[in-house]
Chain A
Amino acid sequence: MSEQTNHTEGEPRVNPVLPYLREDRMPHIWCPGCGIGTTVNCFARALTESELDLDKVSIVSGIGCTGRVAGYMNLDAFHTTHGRPVAFATGLKLANPDLKVVVYSGDGDLMAIGGNHFIHACRRNIDMTIVCVNNFLYGMTGGQASSTTPDPATTTTAPYGAFEHTFNLPFLADSCGAVYVARWTTYHVRQITKAMKEALAKKGLSFIEIISPCPTLYQRRNKLGDGLQAMEYYRDNSVVKSGADTREVEIKYQGEIICGKFVDRERATWLDCYNTRNAAAIGARYRPYPWRENGEGGVK
């Protein structure tokens, strides 16, 4: 965690994000200089500032370094299978629409093995927030190429340099129907926090891509320095263009990183459409889902 707990006298000061974490699971597995912990810090702050009832917030992760986030959050947390957190979260959300559901995973998990689930969740506009920490490779398994590794970065499975065309994630989310799309780097902690707050408040599928350093595998193998040098690169090469056309925000190797909020629009969610369609077809007999017992609270 980036914040220090400094105390000289009196009661020890508690790190403000500590209540959001499972302290009994610390230390975490992330390497020094890794950006995932920074994003978790932002997420904890976004939860505080959102004033959400944390008992109603569920976090779902897949597999990978970012996939471990769910396990460290003091929320109802689900560490599912590789690539499938979005599909799990779809069932979770539709079974109890009162839950605030957040999917938190990496580029390998969400966009390669889980790509099909991602695009369909965007198309359906399932009411959930998806945070994708993009470190340009598979970290947990030792640094293999992912669908976002830019040409010519080297990875263990692209020893002569990556050469495939990459996914432009904001464009993918936008074109598939996400209602909120933003990108920031782990240098932009305030902007990430604000984006997460907005995403949590947004009805429908909100998507945030966070560019994050992997000093152990990506930085070192490509001779890009450590975590600090990654921050300097993000600071010097990020260009904030909120409202930019997502077709224009593709990331090139060590090129400029276009950040900002690209999409913020209204579109009926899956559940809205489900109720609208059924009400139109079935008529007055139709009771909208979820059926409320005694006016409010849980679902039948």
Chain B
Amino acid sequence: MKADPSGVLTGRHYFDGNHACCEGALAAGCRFAAGYPITPSTEVVERIAKRFPHLGGVFIQMEDEIASSIALQGAVWAGKKAMTVTSGPGLSLMMEHIGLAAITETPCVFVDVQRGGPSTGLPTLPGQADMMQARWGSHGDYELIALAPSSPQECFDYTVDAFNLAETYRVPVMMMMDECVGHMTERVDIPAAETIEVTPRRYTTKKKGEFKPFEPGENMVPDMAKAGDGLRFHVTGLTHDERGYPVINAQAQDKLIRRLVDKIRLQADRIVRYEEDAVENADVIVVSYGITYRVALRAIEMARAKGVKVGSHRLVVCWPFPEKRIRELAARGKPIVMAEMNLGQMYWELERCAAGKCKTALVSHAGGTVHNPEVIYNAIMEAVR
């Protein structure tokens, strides 16, 4: 279905990434948001607080990030599309409810405008060091989806995608922004509502008695229900059967958890998204994502000016990781250089998938500012030497 025009600010704008993210959420149909102030993400909810009363939405500033990350799930079960927005320290507090969203298959969006960590770290400066936490931070086995925008335009576009993916797979979807992308101001084109594809929630058509809230349907994903519709369903964070009733044994655990994981792993080909440039004949490939992708582009340009055949693989969806594609690229035997604003997180995945088939190098950065392109350039030149 197409976006509700009332929430779409069609036109050419000059926005920072945080404002663009807010507009993406509104275009996607988000009408509930809960948040707690935290630099450098707060502008997203500030704009939401201003926009929602005109759109029939509700924003509530909760008492902490723990509350925000579960209030939004209450809103989802009452029928709203919902999100919360935070940065590293808040994301740490939200881990409990990323797990709840995973096990209860609650479609929702978590925006993380990354800053330097750990702990209070660098509140006003960028980082990309929450990538592993986003994937593995809550206890237990589960899968989710994470996207990494590299510009305000992508903050708009990917936020729409994040809501759509959340509805399709019924998982929490993480928007892995960073302080740079959140605060950089660029042109953002918001298209007409009738050109924005929005995935509606797939509600059950079954009646009370025949409806099982966790019976897998299309794509291994159960149909949704919402409170107040007379279905009298039960949702629990305990391991449960298809009726949503707790079952505390190994068989029920195996059945549920394998499905939660498999609905993403077995359908990863449809979810994985990346952008490539000139990888086919490349002597070296640079892998990057988010703001670091923009910096890497400069380094690639510099290396190409020296006659080096450099390819680029840019992660759009970071989780699930593009395993199959990285294996193919590694099988070429040519080196892969990865740049990210941490001391090696997605690089572990790269190394795992490369599995020794090619040389890999990490251009790490502890955060606080973006890489100097020359450092990535040097790593490219070193890799092809």
B32 and A94 contact, CB distance less than 8 A: yes
The contact string, 1 if C-beta is below 8 Å from chain B, for chain A 275-296, is 0001000100111011100000
B68, B226, B234: the one contacting A71 at CB < 8 Å is B234
A274 to B230, CA, bound (A): 28
Closest chain-A Cβ to B246's Cβ sits at a distance in Å of 7
Report how many A-B pairs have Cβ atoms within 8 Å: 144
CB neighbours (8 Å) of A168 from chain B are none
Known A-B contacts A90-B62, A91-B34, A91-B74; A96 and B79 likewise in contact (beta carbons under 8 Å): yes
Q: Which residue of B lies closest to A124 (CB)?
A: B60
**Is A43 in the interface zone, CB < 8 Å from B?**
no
**B32 CB to nearest chain A CB (Å):** 5
> Is A52's beta carbon under 8 Å from chain B?
no
B233 within 8 A of A: yes
Contact of B71 among A25, A79, A90 (CB under 8 A): A90
How far apart are the CA atoms of A54 and B208 in the complex, in Å?
A: 13
Contact indicator B66/A84 (Cβ below 8 Å): yes
Interface size bracket, B side: 35 or more
Check if B54 sits within 8 Å of A282, measured CB to CB: yes
A166 interface residue per 8 A CB criterion: no
Known: A87-B71, A91-B73, A99-B78. A80 touches B32 (CB 8 A): no
A248 to chain B, nearest CB (A): 28
Q: In whole angstroms, how far apart are the Cα atoms of A259 and B96 in the complex? A: 37
Q: Are B70 and A96 in contact (CB under 8 A)?
A: no
Instruction: Tell yes or no: B82 within 8 A of A by CB.
Output: yes
Cβ of B100 within 8 Å of any chain A Cβ, yes or no, is yes
Is A201 on the interface with B (CB-CB < 8 A)? Answer: no
Interface string of B100-144 (1 = CB under 8 A from A): 100000000000000000000000000000000000000000000
Selected from A94, A98, A286, the residue in CB contact (under 8 A) with B53 is A286
Known: A90-B74, A92-B77. A99 touches B228 (CB 8 A): yes
B236 at interface, CB cutoff 8 A:
yes
Interfacial chain B residues near A291, Cβ < 8 Å: 56
Known: A76-B228, A88-B74. A95 touches B53 (CB 8 A): no
Most buried by A among B67, B230, B238, B245: B67
CB pair B77–A289 under 8 Å, yes or no, is: no
- Name the residue among B229, B232, B245 with the largest chain A CB count within 10 angstroms: B232
Bound-state Cα–Cα, A92 to B76, Å:
8
Q: How far is the CA of A120 from the CA of B63 in the complex (A)?
A: 7
A229 at the interface (CB under 8 A from B): no
Q: Provided the pairs A81-B97, A99-B228, A289-B56 are in contact, do residues A92 and B245 lie with their beta carbons within 8 angstroms?
A: no
What chain B residues lie within 8 Å of A286 (beta carbons)?
A: 53-54
**Contact B237–A90 (Cβ < 8 Å):** no
State the CA gap A120–B57 with chains docked (Å). Answer: 21
| Complex CA distance for A70 and B77, rounded to whole angstroms | 15
Q: Which of chain A's residues has its CB closest to B234's CB?
A: A77
Within the complex, the shortest CB–CB distance from A24 to chain B, in Å, comes to 8
Which residue of B31, B66, B234, B237 has the most chain A CB atoms within 10 A of its CB atom? B234
Chain B residue numbers with a CB within 8 Å of A54 are 232
* Neighbouring B residues of A236 by C-beta, 8 Å: none
Interface residue? A48 (CB, 8 A):
no
CB distance from B385 to the nearest CB of A (A): 53
Inside 8 A of A93's CB, which chain B residues have their CB?
74, 78
Complex partner residue of B233 from A77, A87, A120, CB under 8 angstroms: A77
Question: B4 CB to closest chain A CB, in angstroms?
Answer: 9
- Whether B82 and A95, one on each chain, are in contact in the complex, defined by CB atoms closer than 8 angstroms, is yes
Nearest CB of B to A251, in Å = 26
Contact A289 B79 (CB under 8 A): no
Distance, CA A60 to CA B96, complexed state (A) = 17
Assess whether A22 is interfacial by the CB under 8 Å rule: yes
Q: Does B379 contact A (CB under 8 A)?
A: no
- Inter-chain CA distance A96–B58, complex, in Å, is 10
Nearest first, the 3 closest Cβ-Cβ pairs linking A and B are A91-B74, A91-B71, A92-B74
**Apart from the given pairs A95-B75, A96-B226, 4 other A-B contacts in the complex at a CB distance below 8 Å:** A91-B34, A94-B71, A95-B74, A98-B228
Which residues in A have some Cβ–Cβ distance to B below 8 Å? Answer: 22, 24-25, 54-56, 58, 60, 70-71, 74-81, 84, 87-96, 98-99, 116-117, 120, 270, 274, 278, 282, 285-287, 289-291, 298-300
User: Can you pick out 30 interface pairs between chain A and chain B where the beta carbons lie within 8 Å of each other?
Assistant: A22-B234, A55-B228, A71-B236, A71-B245, A74-B232, A76-B231, A76-B232, A78-B74, A79-B238, A81-B70, A84-B67, A87-B63, A87-B70, A87-B74, A91-B70, A91-B74, A92-B75, A93-B74, A94-B58, A95-B58, A95-B79, A96-B78, A96-B80, A96-B228, A99-B228, A116-B63, A116-B64, A120-B67, A287-B56, A291-B56
